[in-house]
Protein backbone atom coordinates (compact mmCIF):
# COMPACT_ATOMS: atom_id res chain seq x y z
CA UNK A 1 0.00 0.00 0.00
CA UNK A 2 1.26 3.44 -0.86
CA UNK A 3 2.61 5.13 2.24
CA UNK A 4 0.79 2.95 4.75
CA UNK A 5 0.37 -0.60 5.95
CA UNK A 6 -1.82 -3.25 4.39
CA UNK A 7 -5.34 -3.84 5.71
CA UNK A 8 -5.62 -6.03 8.78
CA UNK A 9 -9.43 -6.01 8.94
CA UNK A 10 -12.00 -7.39 6.51
CA UNK A 11 -15.75 -7.40 6.00
CA UNK A 12 -17.02 -10.75 4.73
CA UNK A 13 -20.48 -10.62 3.16
CA UNK A 14 -22.14 -13.90 4.13
CA UNK A 15 -25.75 -12.90 4.76
CA UNK A 16 -27.30 -13.74 1.39
CA UNK A 17 -30.21 -16.14 0.96
CA UNK A 18 -28.60 -18.33 -1.73
CA UNK A 19 -31.96 -18.99 -3.42
CA UNK A 20 -30.39 -20.15 -6.69
CA UNK A 21 -28.54 -22.89 -4.78
CA UNK A 22 -31.73 -24.64 -3.70
CA UNK A 23 -32.37 -27.40 -2.74
CA UNK A 24 -28.89 -27.45 -1.14
CA UNK A 25 -29.57 -24.16 0.64
CA UNK A 26 -32.87 -25.41 2.02
CA UNK A 27 -30.82 -26.88 4.85
CA UNK A 28 -27.46 -25.03 4.87
CA UNK A 29 -26.50 -21.42 4.12
CA UNK A 30 -24.66 -20.91 0.84
CA UNK A 31 -21.33 -19.85 2.47
CA UNK A 32 -21.13 -23.33 4.04
CA UNK A 33 -21.51 -25.20 0.74
CA UNK A 34 -18.33 -27.32 0.43
CA UNK A 35 -16.16 -27.14 -2.68
CA UNK A 36 -13.27 -29.60 -2.92
CA UNK A 37 -13.47 -30.32 0.82
CA UNK A 38 -13.58 -26.70 2.00
CA UNK A 39 -16.57 -24.41 2.49
CA UNK A 40 -16.93 -21.35 0.27
CA UNK A 41 -16.59 -19.22 3.40
CA UNK A 42 -13.33 -20.90 4.43
CA UNK A 43 -11.83 -20.46 0.96
CA UNK A 44 -12.26 -16.71 1.46
CA UNK A 45 -11.17 -16.62 5.09
CA UNK A 46 -8.05 -18.63 4.28
CA UNK A 47 -7.14 -16.03 1.62
CA UNK A 48 -7.63 -13.24 4.15
CA UNK A 49 -5.51 -15.08 6.71
CA UNK A 50 -2.76 -15.56 4.16
CA UNK A 51 -2.85 -11.81 3.42
CA UNK A 52 -2.27 -10.96 7.09
CA UNK A 53 -5.83 -10.03 8.04
CA UNK A 54 -6.22 -10.26 11.82
CA UNK A 55 -9.96 -9.65 12.16
CA UNK A 56 -12.84 -10.58 9.86
CA UNK A 57 -16.34 -9.29 10.46
CA UNK A 58 -18.82 -11.80 9.01
CA UNK A 59 -22.44 -10.79 8.59
CA UNK A 60 -25.14 -13.45 8.92
CA UNK A 61 -28.86 -13.59 8.22
CA UNK A 62 -30.04 -16.91 6.72
CA UNK A 63 -29.56 -19.96 8.99
CA UNK A 64 -27.11 -17.84 11.01
CA UNK A 65 -26.56 -20.33 13.82
CA UNK A 66 -24.91 -22.77 11.41
CA UNK A 67 -22.37 -20.15 10.32
CA UNK A 68 -21.71 -19.07 13.91
CA UNK A 69 -21.09 -22.68 14.97
CA UNK A 70 -18.85 -23.36 12.00
CA UNK A 71 -16.73 -20.26 12.60
CA UNK A 72 -16.30 -21.04 16.29
CA UNK A 73 -13.59 -23.50 15.25
CA UNK A 74 -11.55 -20.79 13.46
CA UNK A 75 -8.86 -18.81 15.27
CA UNK A 76 -7.26 -16.97 12.35
CA UNK A 77 -8.39 -14.46 11.47
CA UNK A 78 -10.34 -13.53 14.59
CA UNK A 79 -14.05 -13.70 13.72
CA UNK A 80 -16.60 -11.09 14.75
CA UNK A 81 -20.23 -11.84 13.86
CA UNK A 82 -22.47 -9.02 12.63
CA UNK A 83 -25.98 -10.35 13.18
CA UNK A 84 -28.56 -9.36 10.56
CA UNK A 85 -31.03 -12.10 11.55
CA UNK A 86 -33.86 -9.61 11.97
CA UNK A 87 -33.33 -7.75 8.71
CA UNK A 88 -31.21 -8.29 5.63
CA UNK A 89 -29.28 -5.09 4.90
CA UNK A 90 -27.81 -5.83 1.44
CA UNK A 91 -24.11 -5.38 0.70
CA UNK A 92 -23.57 -1.76 1.73
CA UNK A 93 -26.09 -1.68 4.58
CA UNK A 94 -24.35 -4.64 6.15
CA UNK A 95 -21.02 -2.86 5.96
CA UNK A 96 -22.40 0.33 7.50
CA UNK A 97 -23.84 -1.67 10.41
CA UNK A 98 -20.41 -3.26 10.97
CA UNK A 99 -18.37 -0.02 10.72
CA UNK A 100 -17.72 0.21 14.50
CA UNK A 101 -15.84 -3.11 14.22
CA UNK A 102 -14.12 -2.23 10.93
CA UNK A 103 -12.34 0.88 12.18
CA UNK A 104 -11.12 4.02 10.44
CA UNK A 105 -8.47 2.54 8.15
CA UNK A 106 -8.93 0.96 4.71
CA UNK A 107 -10.32 -2.57 4.92
CA UNK A 108 -11.00 -5.52 2.63
CA UNK A 109 -14.49 -6.46 1.48
CA UNK A 110 -14.98 -10.07 0.45
CA UNK A 111 -17.96 -11.93 -0.95
CA UNK A 112 -18.43 -15.25 0.85
CA UNK A 113 -19.86 -17.10 -2.15
CA UNK A 114 -16.98 -16.81 -4.64
CA UNK A 115 -13.30 -17.67 -4.37
CA UNK A 116 -10.14 -17.87 -6.41
CA UNK A 117 -6.93 -19.81 -6.79
CA UNK A 118 -3.81 -17.65 -6.74
CA UNK A 119 -1.11 -17.91 -9.35
CA UNK A 120 2.11 -16.37 -8.08
CA UNK A 121 1.83 -13.74 -5.37
CA UNK A 122 -1.43 -13.88 -3.37
CA UNK A 123 -3.95 -11.60 -5.04
CA UNK A 124 -5.05 -9.90 -1.82
CA UNK A 125 -1.43 -8.94 -1.15
CA UNK A 126 -1.16 -7.57 -4.69
CA UNK A 127 -4.36 -5.61 -4.08
CA UNK A 128 -2.89 -4.11 -0.89
CA UNK A 129 0.32 -3.11 -2.70
CA UNK A 130 -1.71 -1.42 -5.43
CA UNK A 131 -3.82 0.62 -3.00
CA UNK A 132 -3.18 4.39 -3.06
CA UNK A 133 -5.34 6.33 -0.62
CA UNK A 134 -4.51 9.64 -2.28
CA UNK A 135 -6.09 8.55 -5.58
CA UNK A 136 -8.59 5.86 -4.65
CA UNK A 137 -11.81 5.47 -2.70
CA UNK A 138 -12.29 1.86 -3.80
CA UNK A 139 -9.89 -0.63 -5.40
CA UNK A 140 -11.56 -3.79 -6.67
CA UNK A 141 -10.17 -7.11 -7.81
CA UNK A 142 -11.14 -8.06 -11.34
CA UNK A 143 -11.07 -11.30 -13.29
CA UNK A 144 -10.70 -11.88 -17.01
CA UNK A 145 -13.55 -13.96 -18.47
CA UNK A 146 -11.07 -16.55 -19.74
CA UNK A 147 -9.83 -17.15 -16.17
CA UNK A 148 -13.18 -18.01 -14.59
CA UNK A 149 -15.37 -21.00 -13.87
CA UNK A 150 -19.11 -20.77 -13.27
CA UNK A 151 -19.68 -17.21 -14.49
CA UNK A 152 -22.82 -16.98 -16.60
CA UNK A 153 -23.31 -13.22 -16.83
CA UNK A 154 -21.55 -10.51 -18.78
CA UNK A 155 -18.68 -8.24 -17.83
CA UNK A 156 -18.81 -5.53 -15.17
CA UNK A 157 -16.08 -2.96 -15.74
CA UNK A 158 -13.73 -1.50 -18.32
CA UNK A 159 -10.25 -0.65 -17.07
CA UNK A 160 -8.21 2.28 -18.35
CA UNK A 161 -4.40 2.15 -18.66
CA UNK A 162 -4.07 3.98 -15.30
CA UNK A 163 -6.40 1.47 -13.59
CA UNK A 164 -9.47 3.70 -13.41
CA UNK A 165 -12.75 1.91 -14.02
CA UNK A 166 -15.95 2.56 -15.94
CA UNK A 167 -19.06 0.40 -16.23
CA UNK A 168 -18.73 -2.16 -19.02
CA UNK A 169 -22.38 -1.80 -20.17
CA UNK A 170 -22.23 -5.12 -21.99
CA UNK A 171 -18.81 -4.61 -23.59
CA UNK A 172 -17.36 -8.14 -24.07
CA UNK A 173 -13.82 -6.80 -23.59
CA UNK A 174 -14.64 -5.88 -19.99
CA UNK A 175 -13.66 -7.60 -16.77
CA UNK A 176 -15.66 -9.25 -13.97
CA UNK A 177 -15.86 -8.00 -10.41
CA UNK A 178 -14.12 -10.81 -8.53
CA UNK A 179 -15.81 -10.27 -5.18
CA UNK A 180 -12.89 -8.64 -3.36
CA UNK A 181 -12.00 -5.01 -2.77
CA UNK A 182 -10.24 -2.51 -0.55
CA UNK A 183 -12.31 0.50 0.50
CA UNK A 184 -11.75 3.70 2.44
CA UNK A 185 -14.26 3.76 5.31
CA UNK A 186 -14.81 7.48 4.71
CA UNK A 187 -17.03 6.62 1.69
CA UNK A 188 -19.70 5.48 4.15
CA UNK A 189 -19.73 8.76 6.09
CA UNK A 190 -23.29 9.74 6.86
CA UNK A 191 -24.74 6.47 5.56
CA UNK A 192 -27.33 4.61 7.62
CA UNK A 193 -27.60 0.88 8.21
CA UNK A 194 -30.57 0.58 5.88
CA UNK A 195 -30.73 -1.92 3.01
CA UNK A 196 -28.69 -0.59 0.08
CA UNK A 197 -26.10 -1.87 -2.37
CA UNK A 198 -22.38 -1.30 -2.82
CA UNK A 199 -23.12 -0.51 -6.45
CA UNK A 200 -24.14 3.02 -5.47
CA UNK A 201 -20.67 3.56 -3.99
CA UNK A 202 -19.02 2.12 -7.10
CA UNK A 203 -20.93 4.59 -9.26
CA UNK A 204 -20.12 7.49 -6.95
CA UNK A 205 -16.41 6.58 -7.07
CA UNK A 206 -16.54 6.31 -10.87
CA UNK A 207 -18.04 9.81 -11.07
CA UNK A 208 -15.22 11.13 -8.88
CA UNK A 209 -12.54 9.26 -10.85
CA UNK A 210 -11.67 7.29 -7.71
CA UNK A 211 -12.76 3.71 -8.57
CA UNK A 212 -9.76 1.64 -9.58
CA UNK A 213 -9.24 -2.00 -10.43
CA UNK A 214 -6.53 -4.65 -10.42
CA UNK A 215 -6.75 -7.76 -12.59
CA UNK A 216 -6.12 -10.88 -10.54
CA UNK A 217 -3.64 -13.59 -11.44
CA UNK A 218 -4.98 -17.13 -11.24
CA UNK A 219 -8.46 -18.60 -11.56
CA UNK A 220 -11.74 -17.20 -10.23
CA UNK A 221 -14.64 -19.48 -9.32
CA UNK A 222 -18.27 -18.70 -8.67
CA UNK A 223 -20.82 -21.29 -7.60
CA UNK A 224 -24.29 -19.93 -8.25
CA UNK A 225 -26.33 -23.09 -8.74
CA UNK A 226 -25.99 -26.76 -7.69
CA UNK A 227 -24.81 -27.78 -11.15
CA UNK A 228 -21.89 -25.35 -10.81
CA UNK A 229 -20.33 -27.42 -7.99
CA UNK A 230 -18.79 -30.13 -10.20
CA UNK A 231 -17.09 -27.65 -12.60
CA UNK A 232 -15.80 -25.69 -9.60
CA UNK A 233 -14.26 -28.80 -8.05
CA UNK A 234 -12.76 -29.77 -11.41
CA UNK A 235 -11.17 -26.31 -11.66
CA UNK A 236 -9.63 -26.74 -8.22
CA UNK A 237 -8.23 -30.15 -9.19
CA UNK A 238 -6.74 -28.73 -12.40
CA UNK A 239 -5.11 -25.87 -10.53
CA UNK A 240 -3.61 -28.18 -7.94
CA UNK A 241 -2.31 -30.49 -10.67
CA UNK A 242 -0.78 -27.57 -12.58
CA UNK A 243 0.92 -26.34 -9.43
CA UNK A 244 2.69 -29.65 -8.83
Q: Which domain holds residue 103?
A: 9-243
How many folded domains does the chain comprise?
A: 1
What is the per-residue pLDDT for 2? Answer: 45
What is the per-residue pLDDT for 3? Answer: 42
Q: What is the pLDDT of residues 110-131, one digit of tens each?
A: 999 899 999 989 999 999 999 9
Asked if the structure places residue 114 within a domain, the reply is yes
Query: In degrees, to the nearest 5, what angle opens at C-alpha 139 toward C-alphas 233 and 221?
Result: 10
Q: What is the pLDDT of residues 30-87, one digit of tens each?
A: 999 999 999 999 999 999 999 999 999 999 999 999 999 999 999 899 999 999 988 8
Q: What are phi and psi of 188, to 5 degrees?
A: -95, 10
Average pLDDT over residues 18-37: 93
What is the per-residue pLDDT for 244? Answer: 61
What is the per-residue pLDDT for 18? Answer: 87
Asked if the structure places residue 4 within a domain, the reply is no
Of the pLDDT bands very low, low, confident and very high (cuts 50, 70, 90), residue 243 is low
Q: What is the pLDDT of residues 169-206, one digit of tens each?
A: 989 899 999 999 999 999 999 898 888 999 999 999 99
Asked if the structure places residue 140 within a domain, the reply is yes
Predicted TM-score (pTM) of this structure: 0.93
Asked if the structure places residue 66 within a domain, the reply is yes
In the chain, % of residues over pLDDT 90? 79
Asked if the structure places residue 163 within a domain, the reply is yes
Asked if the structure places residue 3 within a domain, the reply is no
Task: Report the C-alpha gap between 92 and 10 in whole angstroms.
Answer: 14
Average pLDDT over residues 80-96: 91
What is the per-residue pLDDT for 1? Answer: 44
> Largest Cα–Cα distance of the chain, in whole Å?
50
What is the per-residue pLDDT for 90? Answer: 87
Q: Which 3-state string (H, E, C) describes the chain?
A: CCCCCCCCEEEEECCCCCHHHCCHHHCCCHHHCEECCEEHHHHHHHHHHHCCCCEEEEEECCCHHHHHHHHCCCCCCEEEEEECCCCCCHHHHHHHHHHHHHCCCCEEEEECCEEEEECCCCHHHHHHHHCCCCCCCEEEEEECHHHEECCCCCCCEEECCCCEEEECCCCCCCEEEEEEEEECHHHHCCCCCCCCCCHHHHHHHHHCCCEEEEECCEEEEECCCHHHHHHHHHHHHHHHHHHC
- The CATH number linked to 155 is 3.90.550.10
What is the per-residue pLDDT for 182? Answer: 97
Task: Report the C-alpha gap between 215 and 156 in whole angstroms.
Answer: 13
Amino acid sequence: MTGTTRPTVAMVLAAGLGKRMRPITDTIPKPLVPIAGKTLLDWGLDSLDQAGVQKAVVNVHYLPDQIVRHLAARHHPKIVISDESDRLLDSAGGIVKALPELGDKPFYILNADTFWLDAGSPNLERLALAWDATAMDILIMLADLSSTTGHSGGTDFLIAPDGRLARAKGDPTGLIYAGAAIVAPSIFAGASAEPHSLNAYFDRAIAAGRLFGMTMQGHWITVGTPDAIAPAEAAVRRALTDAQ
